């Protein structure tokens, strides 16, 4: 069951990235996907962790779109 959620979550983050015409998934795309999947209670703690070590705009891409659609 967890694998199904992981795949659904990754595809949701991928959709967010594509809607912005990006080829890779960024941290902000992951946070937006969490909100879309109604896990908004996880967004604030994750933002705090990310901002503690990086700014959201300077994070490297997490996944490339080619993983899902070669």
CATH of the domain at 23: 1.10.20.10
How far, in Å, CA of 1 to CA of 26, rounded?
Answer: 25
> What pTM does this model have?
0.64
What are the pLDDT digits (tens) for 10-68? 888 888 998 999 888 888 888 888 888 888 888 888 888 777 665 555 555 555 444 45
How far, in Å, CA of 12 to CA of 58, rounded?
Answer: 22
Domain count, the chain: 1
Q: What is the pLDDT of residue 6?
A: 76
**Domain region containing 47:** 2-67
Q: What is the pLDDT of residue 70?
A: 45
CA angle 15, 21, 22 (to 5 degrees): 80
């Amino acid at each position: 069951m967890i694998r199904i959620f992981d795949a659904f979550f990754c595809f949701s983050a991928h959709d967010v990235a594509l809607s912005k015409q990006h080829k890779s998934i960024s941290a902000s795309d992951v946070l937006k996907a969490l909100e879309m999947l109604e896990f908004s209670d996880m967004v604030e703690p994750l933002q705090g962790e990310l901002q503690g070590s990086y700014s959201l705009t300077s994070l490297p891409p997490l996944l490339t779109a080619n993983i899902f659609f070669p």
